[in-house]
Amino acid sequence: MKNGKIATLAIESSCDETAAAVVLEGREVLSNIISSQIEIHKQYGGVVPEIAARHHLENINAVVDRALEQADMSMEQVDMIGVTYGPGLVGALLIGLATAKAYAFASEKPLIGVHHIHGHICANYIEHPQLEPPFMALVVSGGHTNIVEVTDYNECRVLGGTRDDAVGEAYDKVARVLGLGYPGGPLIDRIAKEGNAHAVEFKRVFLEKDSLDFSFSGIKTGVLNYVNSEKQAGRETNTADVAASFQAAVLDVIVAKTVKAAVDMKKDKIVMAGGVAANSRLREMLAEECKKRRMALFCPSPILCTDNAAMIGCAAYYRYMAGDRDDLSLDAIPNLQL
C-alpha cells in the first residue's frame, strides 16, 4: 500500500523489452522502466530468442530495483506481483516469470499471471482514467492481430485474428524488402507520409464474407514481386510510394473489420492497443470512421502502446480485485490463448 492505495509491482519480458513498473489502484503509474534490446537485435534484422532471454537475465533485477526506487517504494509496501506468463518467446517469458516468483516467494506476496494481450488492452485504462468496458478492442502488434470484444475488466472474447503473419510482422518484413531497417513499423509510418497510397494497388485480403480474421503473409510477397519486377524493367522504385501503398492495403482491411465488429456487436467505443496502434495513419483512419458513426476512439500514448510493465500492472490489479491468484507452479505458455 502507498497512500492507502493498492500497489502492484509488475514485470514484463515476453519479447525484447525487459520491463518493470509500480502501479497504484491499477491506473496510477509511479514508475515504468523499460530496458529495450532493439539496438542489439537490429543487427540481425529481428529478435533472436536466445539473445533476448540472456539479456533479460542480465537486466531484470536492476530494472525491478529501478522501478521500486523511482516509485519510492520498498518491497514491503507492494501488495501483489503481476507478471506476463504468455504469449511470447518461452525463454524470455521464463526470466520474467522466475523473477516474479522469486519476489513473490521471498516477500510472501500474491502472484498474478497476466495475458500479454490483456495487458496491451489495459494500457488504455491507464491513459484514459474515465474509460470503462464494454468496448471493441483492436490489438495490433509484432506478434498479434486481434479484434477482441471486451465485456468487462476480466472478460473478453476474441472475434478475429490473423491466420498467418501479425500486422507488425508484415510491417517489419516489408521494411526489410524496402531496405528501411528494423523495426520497420515506425520507419514505414514515417516514410509513407511522403508517398502516394494509390501508386500501387496491392490486394486487400478480406477472406470469407463476414470473417473478422486476417491474412498478411501475401502482402510481403506482393511487395517483393513488385520491387523485383520494377527492377527488371529498369525502373527505380519510389520507396515512399510503395510504403504508403502497402500501408493503405493492410489498414483498409484492419479498419473495415474493426468498425464492422463494433457495429455488429453494438459497441460505441473502439480501443486500440499494441505496438502498431502507435501508427499515425491507422489512428487517423479509425478516428475518421469513428467520427462518422459517433463512436469514441481511445488509444494509448506511444510509450504505453509498445511493450511495457505498467499495462501488466493494470491488468494484474483487476484480476486481483476479482479474487484471482496464481501460485508458484504458474508456467510460461508461449501460445497462451485469450
Pairing, β 17-24 against β 7-12: antiparallel
According to CB under 6 A, which one of 71, 121, 174, 278 is a site residue for ligand KG4? 278
Give residue 55's identity as a one-letter amino acid code: H
According to CB under 5 A, which one of 32, 141, 145, 239 is a site residue for Zn ion? 141
Cα distance between residue 239 and residue 145, in whole Å: 25
Query: Per CB under 6 A, which of residues 142..171 are in contact with ligand KG4?
Result: 142-143, 168, 171
Q: Is residue 274 at the binding interface for ligand KG4, with CB under 6 A as the rule?
A: yes
Nearer to Zn ion among residue 149 and residue 307 (C-beta): 307
Q: Is residue 18 at the binding interface for Zn ion, with CB under 5 A as the rule?
A: no
Look at residue 183 and give the partner it binds from Zn ion, ligand KG4, none, a contact being a CB closer than 5 to 8 Å depending on partner kind: ligand KG4
Cα distance between residue 308 and residue 33, in whole Å: 8
Cα distance between residue 293 and residue 282, in whole Å: 17
Q: Is residue 307 at the binding interface for Zn ion, with CB under 5 A as the rule?
A: yes
Contacts of 216 (CB under 8 A, 6+ apart): 145, 162, 164, 165, 166, 167, 169, 170, 205, 250
Which residue, 205, 200, 146, 144, is CA-closest to 177?
A: 200
Strand-pairing partners, residue 160, are 147
Q: Is residue 141 at the binding interface for ligand KG4, with CB under 6 A as the rule?
A: yes
Cα distance between residue 60 and residue 316, in whole Å: 19
Nearer to Zn ion among residue 13 and residue 141 (C-beta): 141
Cβ at position 250, least distance to ligand KG4 in Å: 10
- Give the range of 97-105, 228-236, 259-267, 300-308 binding Zn ion by CB under 5 A: 300-308
Give residue 214's identity as a one-letter amino acid code: F
Nearer to ligand KG4 among residue 7 and residue 175 (C-beta): 175
Cβ at position 38, least distance to ligand KG4 in Å: 10
Give residue 196's identity as a one-letter amino acid code: N
Residue with cell 469513428: 290
Cβ at position 36, least distance to ligand KG4 in Å: 9
- Give the range of 23-31, 93-101, 231-239, 273-281 binding ligand KG4 by CB under 6 A: 273-281
Spell out where the chain has E strands. 7-12, 17-24, 28-36, 80-86, 111-115, 135-140, 145-152, 155-161, 269-273, 296-298
- Fill in the per-residue mask, 221 to 260: x = in contact with Zn ion (CB under 5 A), - = not in contact: ----------------------------------------
Q: Is residue 18 at the binding interface for ligand KG4, with CB under 6 A as the rule?
A: no
Nearer to Zn ion among residue 31 and residue 141 (C-beta): 141
Q: Is residue 127 at the binding interface for ligand KG4, with CB under 6 A as the rule?
A: no
Q: 186: cis peptide before it, omega within 30°?
A: no
Residue with cell 519480458: 13
Strand-pairing partners, residue 137, are 148, 271
Query: Per CB under 6 A, which of residues 187..216 are in contact with ligand KG4?
Result: 189
Nearer to Zn ion among residue 110 and residue 186 (C-beta): 186
Tell me which residues touch ligand KG4 (CB under 6 A): 15, 141-143, 168, 171-172, 183-186, 189, 274-276, 278-279, 306-307
